[in-house]
Structure 1
Amino acid sequence: MKPPPFDYHRPAGLGEALQALAEAGSHGKVLAGGQSLIPLLNMRLAAPGHLVDINGLTELATISADASGVRVGALARHAAVERDGSARAVQPLLAQALALVAHPVIRNRGTVVGSLVHADPSAEMPAVLALLGGSVRLARLGGERDVHARDFFVGPLESACLPGEMAVSAFFPALPERSGTAFCEVARRHGDYAVAGVAAAVTLDEDFRIIAARVACVSVGPVPVVVDVTGVCGQRPPASVDWDEVARAVQDRIEPEGDIHATAGYRRHLTGVLVTRALRGAAQDAARSGANDAGEGRA
C-alpha cells in the first residue's frame, strides 16, 4: 500500500519546524528516522495531514556526555549513540540496549528520541529512559518543557508530546559510583521486538553490598514497568541474595497479556528468568566498576 496524501514540509531551522507543527496542530507528524512512521503510513495506520521532515536540522544530531549524564538530540541515530565512546563511558546501558534494537540498517537510520516518542512498550529505549529516571525535552513555539520519564509514557504508542510540540532531545542520567547495568531480552528472531525484556541497574557500597537495585520490564504492560527491588535484595553482597525471591517480587508487579507470540503466563515466567539474569549481570558489572575504582585509588 501507499501512504495517504499529506503536505510535506522541509524546514530550514528549528523555528520553522515548530511553526509548521503549530499550524498543523493534531494533523502534524515529525519525520526523523522514519523507521516506525513510514510503515505506519504505508499500512494506513497513520494519516497525518502534514509531515514535517527535520532531517535537514543537523543541529539536532548531537550527543553530549558529562558527569551528570548523556543528552541525545532528536536526529542522533541509534548507531551513532551506540558507537559514541563518551556516551558509553558515562551511561553504558545505552550501548547495551542499542545493540539489541532491530538490525544495523535500522539502527543506522532510526533515532533514539524517535523511539521514545513512538512509546512502544516492547521497545528498548523507553525502558532505558524509565529505568534511569531520564527526561525528554519538548519544544513548541514560545517555549519548551522537560518531561520526566514517569510522565512521558502515557500508554501504548502514546507519549506526553502534545500537538504542536516536538521532542528535541532526551537526557539519560549517569549512575553513582560502583554501579552496573545490563539489558537482557528474548525475541523470536534477533532484531524482533522482545517477547520479554529486562533492563537492570545495581549500585554497591564500599563493602560491595547492594544499596540500590531497579529493573524496567518491556512487553509486559502498556508502558515500561519499573520496579525497585532494593528492599528485596537487602543490603547484602550479590552472592547472598535470593534472586528467585527478587524475581517473584517483580512478577507480582507486572500484568502481561497474551498474544500470537506468547501467553501471559509464559511472559510472566520469562520476565522472572530475565530479572535474575539482568540483575546478576548488573551486579557483576558494578563489582568490576568498584574494583577498578579501588585500583585507581591505590595507584
Structure 2
Amino acid sequence: MGNNRFIKLLPDMAVFVRVVETGSFSAAALELGLTPSAVSRQVTRLEQSLSVRLLERTTRKLRLSEPGKEAYRDCQKMVAAAKSAMDVAQQFVSLPQGLIRVSMPKAFGKTVISPLMPAFLQQYPEVDVQLILTDRQPDLNNDDVDLAIYMTDNPPDGVVARPLMQVTQVLCATPRYLAEHGTPDHPGALSGHNCIYLGETANDAEWHFRRGGETTTIKVHGRYIANHSGVRLDGILQHLGIGCLPHFTATAALEEGLIVRVLTDWEFLAAYQGTAFLQYLPNRYMALKMRVFIDYLTLHLHSSPDHSADSLAQS
C-alpha cells in the first residue's frame, strides 16, 4: 500500500477505533459529530481497503472479527501516538488549554470533585473539563480518558498513581432513630436494628469491625437498601435506620447535628476504603493542561480540612 493511500485511511482508522470503544456506529457518530451512516461508510471503506472484514455486524451489537482485533490494536496505537504528538505541541504553549477527560466514582465526583470545578475553570479559562462519573475502574490504555481517580491499595502497573487522600467509611443514624430504637454499644447489637447497606452483593450485608486485636463480623438486615451513598444518606435522614456512608458524604450532616456516628470505638471495615489515587499514563511530554489540573486537585484535596482524612467511595 503506497504512502498516499495509507495517509488517506488515517481518518477511517480513527473512526474505527471510536466505533469499537463506544460499541456502536450511533454512539461513535454522536461523539464525532457525524451521522451513523457516515461512520458506517468510513468503516466499510477501511474494510475494503484492507480486504478484510473488521466488524461482525448483528442486529444487537458489533463484534470484532479476528483480523479486526489485530487491526484495532494497531489503529489504537496510531490514535495514542496522535494524542502524544498533541501533548508535545502543548509543551510550547504558554497557557494551558484544551479538554481534559477525568473518570471517577459517581458519589466522589458529585460530592468532592464537582464543587472544586468552578474555581478551576475560572482560573484556567482555556481548559475544558469533562467529568466521567462511573463506578467501573477505567483502563487508561484503552478507555478515552486522560486521568482516573480510583480507590485501591494496589494501583495497576504501568501508570503513575498520586495519592490524594485516605478513605474511611462510617456508620450513622439520626438522634431520633436512636432515641426510638436504642444506641448499639457493640456490633452484635446491630442485629436488632434496621441497617441501610449497599446491597450490590450478598457480602454487602456482612459488616466487619475491628477494635484493637478484636474483630467481628455481623450479618445485618434492613428494609431499605441502596447502592448510592447519597440515597443511603437520605434514608438515614428520614430515620429509616443505621447506615454506612463514606465520610465525605456524611460530613455536612454530621456538622449540622442532623446525624451522629454510631460505634465510634470500633473501626468499620468496608470494601471501599483505603487511598484515593489520581492515576494517569506516564508521559515525558505531559500537556500543560494536565499538569495544572493534577496540581490543582492535589493542592485542594490535601489542604481541605473536610477531605484531609476521609473521602472516597465507589458507591
Query: With structure 1 as the length reference, what TM-score do the two structures score?
Result: 0.26
Higher relative contact order (CA 8 A, sep 6+): 2
Q: Which has the larger radius of gyration?
A: 2
